[in-house]
Chain A
Amino acid sequence: MGNHISLLLVIVPLIAAPLVAVLPRGRLPWAVSFAVSVVCAVFAGIQLLSVIQGGVISYELGGWAPPWGIEYRIDAVNAFVALIVSIIAALTLPYALHSAEREIPEEKIPTFYSALLLCLTGLLGITQTGDIFNVFVFLEISSLSSYALISLGKSRQAFTSSYQYLIMGTIGATFYLIGVGLLYSQTGTLNMQDMANILPSVLHLNTVITGFTFIMVGIALKLALFPLHLWLPNAYTYAPTVVTVFLAATATKVAVYVMLRILFTVFPQTFTIATPADELFIVAGMAGVIIASVYAIYQKNIKRLLAYSSVAQIGYMALGIGFASVTGLMATLIHLFNHALMKGALFMAIGAIIYRIDSCRLDQIHGLGRAMPWTFGAIVIGGLSLVGVPGTAGFISKWYLVTAALEQSAWIPVAVILIGSLLAVVYVGKLIEALYFKPVTDNGKTVTEAPLMLLVPTWGLVLANIYFGLDTDLTVGVAEQAAAILGGIKP
């Protein structure tokens, strides 16, 4: 197999997706999907190891040599992101079994898993490919399947939020397509590496600058960078919880990866820094952190609260990109990983509550923390990680982000990061207050702890939050290597 792993990572879920759709109802579709996600996680792990030890993997699809054929080009950056995506998938699927049975009509279960696998295919494809147009294709595979997944939500708002996401997502993808076309017209290539070699000689052309701008705006829409985040809160709130867990932990992360690739691999860093792109990222990041956190505080729906918090966390990643230094990029990559862990854990815990009481309103969960101690514990630790308390993964990301800001004596971003953490204390505090300190609303129902199948994946992520808060060898080591590849030169 050896090198074929890079391709298999995309092919296996792609082939499994239609297969799952035609399987009989019952638990078979789930079992196959789970097996596929585990296989992907193993492949991604092997791939990351071989990249760290043996350097860049270049896989020529169908034996056509790049730049003519499509090339999958794996270095530490995308191997890392692919591992995040596939591990989250492997953890989400055991969780999906009960949660999906509760929230999705039985006859739609096989197609649900099929769409989930397609979404996984798209996300992994984006991370694997070294072809800029191929990114668009995979982006649309993942987006189209996530629109379908979101529309499976119980309430009718699921349809409208899916529609809203579809419109904005398609505009984003089309902007990306325009940008790619303009770049192709000047470089005559679609291979990222080849384009990176040719671009420096044509950078002064207006066409290239316009193309760059279109790609930036398009991807910013996909990654829900403030103020282009409007689709995200609704989509996360009304989607089935499993879908929210999966998308919150992976979709925006992959978009951040594409952004990093375009900004730092395809375009020379000197160009990126000469344009206002880096300043814009800092401004949008700061605005996102503050405004989205304040919005989160006023939410009455716990899923929407966490969704706004996601927008704020994307703001932190944008800050790291904006600093454009090695430490800044490291902070972004580390936060990419850590945020997947903490949001995954939090949404899973919230999902366990929804599983029991069938509601995600803040005033319906009063006192549930005492009835569901393990779920409550997961929310507390996930919340602390979100705030960035030492000993949790969140602290590590904030630490590197603040270091990156201090390196450039950027005092305002430092203040914003700290204020953002304080605001996180408020909204996490609201959750914990409602869950533990408010008296139980007596409606005659006794609530018991969530089933084990929901708790185990949740706690898997919770423990990972603690583990990666104490032992940073893996995250920081890989992020360091990845940031060095991306390069980042501003001191």
Chain B
Amino acid sequence: MDFIIGHYNYWVVIVLMMVGLYTVISRGNLVKKIIGLNIFQVSVFFLYISLGTVEGGAAPIIAEGVKVYSNPLPHVLILTAIVVGVATTALALALVVRIKETYGTIEEDEIHNLDHSL
């Protein structure tokens, strides 16, 4: 029981990861795929932030009377990863806009039919 409750943040990570990945694979709507991708990426952000936590640690800012600090490095890494994630999402959405303009739809199966009925 302690194993389950004590690692609850990791369970959240795993659930989010699977939800995200499943959405990417199963949805035919291109925007929903991007949402799934975002959830998938966010789960990894949670994973990193969880890794950086030190039990009883304060925020990593030097202050009087504080002896234990959390590890700031994973947070910094994940700031970079968030930026990358935002850029990816922006690019993906831009592509979806262009797909909508040229195909008139953002459903994967309809796009497939349009490409193969020629």
Residues of A within 8 A of B58 (CB): none
A139-189 residues with Cβ-Cβ distance < 8 A to B are: 140, 144, 147-148, 151, 156-157, 159-160, 162-163, 166-167, 170-171, 173-174, 177-178, 181, 184-185
Q: B68 an interface residue at 8 Å Cβ cutoff?
A: no
- A174 and B80 within 8 A (CB): no
Given contacts A151-B95, A159-B102, A184-B51, contact A178 B30 (CB under 8 A): no
Partner of B24, one of A136, A171, A181, A190: A171
Cα–Cα, bound, A151→B51 (Å): 37
Q: A133 an interface residue at 8 Å Cβ cutoff?
A: yes
Cα–Cα, bound, A466→B2 (Å): 66
Given contacts A167-B33, A174-B40, A178-B44, contact A162 B95 (CB under 8 A): yes
- A144 and B21 within 8 A (CB): no
Given contacts A144-B88, A163-B92, contact A156 B103 (CB under 8 A): yes
- B51 and A181 within 8 A (CB): yes
Q: A434 an interface residue at 8 Å Cβ cutoff?
A: no
Residues of A within 8 A of B111 (CB): 160
Residues of A within 8 A of B95 (CB): 147, 151, 159, 162-163, 166
Q: B16 an interface residue at 8 Å Cβ cutoff?
A: no
Q: A476 an interface residue at 8 Å Cβ cutoff?
A: no
Per-residue contact bits, chain A 52-95, to B (CB 8 Å; 1 contact, 0 not): 00000000000000000000000000000000000000000000
Residues of A within 8 A of B21 (CB): 171
Least Cβ–Cβ distance between B84 and chain A, in angstroms: 5
Given contacts A147-B91, A160-B99, A163-B92, contact A171 B84 (CB under 8 A): no
Q: B87 an interface residue at 8 Å Cβ cutoff?
A: yes
Residues of A within 8 A of B98 (CB): 151, 159
Cα–Cα, bound, A184→B76 (Å): 13
B58-92 residues with Cβ-Cβ distance < 8 A to A are: 73-74, 77, 80-81, 84, 87-88, 91-92
Q: A137 an interface residue at 8 Å Cβ cutoff?
A: yes
A167-219 residues with Cβ-Cβ distance < 8 A to B are: 167, 170-171, 173-174, 177-178, 181, 184-185, 190
Per-residue contact bits, chain B 24-60, to A (CB 8 Å; 1 contact, 0 not): 1000001001000100110010011001000000000
Closest B residue to A150 by CB, please name it.
B95
- Of A133, A163, A190, the most chain B CB neighbours within 10 A belong to A163
Residues of B within 8 A of A157 (CB): 115
- A163 and B47 within 8 A (CB): no
Main secondary structure, interface of B, reads helix
Main secondary structure, interface of A, reads helix
Cα–Cα, bound, A274→B109 (Å): 43
- B74 and A181 within 8 A (CB): yes
A288-341 residues with Cβ-Cβ distance < 8 A to B are: none
Given contacts A133-B77, A147-B95, contact A181 B103 (CB under 8 A): no
Residues of A within 8 A of B73 (CB): 190
- A184 and B37 within 8 A (CB): no
Residues of A within 8 A of B37 (CB): 167, 170-171
Closest A residue to B13 by CB, please name it.
A178
Residues of B within 8 A of A144 (CB): 84, 87-88, 91
Which chain A residues have a beta carbon within 8 Å of chain B's beta carbons?
A: 133, 136-137, 140, 144, 147-148, 151, 156-157, 159-160, 162-163, 166-167, 170-171, 173-174, 177-178, 181, 184-185, 190
10 A-B pairs with least C-beta separation: A156-B102, A140-B84, A185-B51, A163-B95, A159-B99, A159-B98, A181-B48, A170-B88, A166-B92, A177-B44
Other A-B contacts than A156-B99, A162-B95, A166-B95, 7 sampled, CB-CB below 8 A, are A140-B84, A147-B91, A151-B98, A163-B95, A167-B92, A171-B21, A185-B51
16 of the cross-chain contacts (CB-CB < 8 Å) are A133-B80, A136-B84, A140-B84, A144-B87, A144-B88, A156-B99, A163-B96, A170-B37, A170-B41, A170-B88, A171-B21, A173-B84, A174-B40, A181-B51, A184-B51, A190-B73
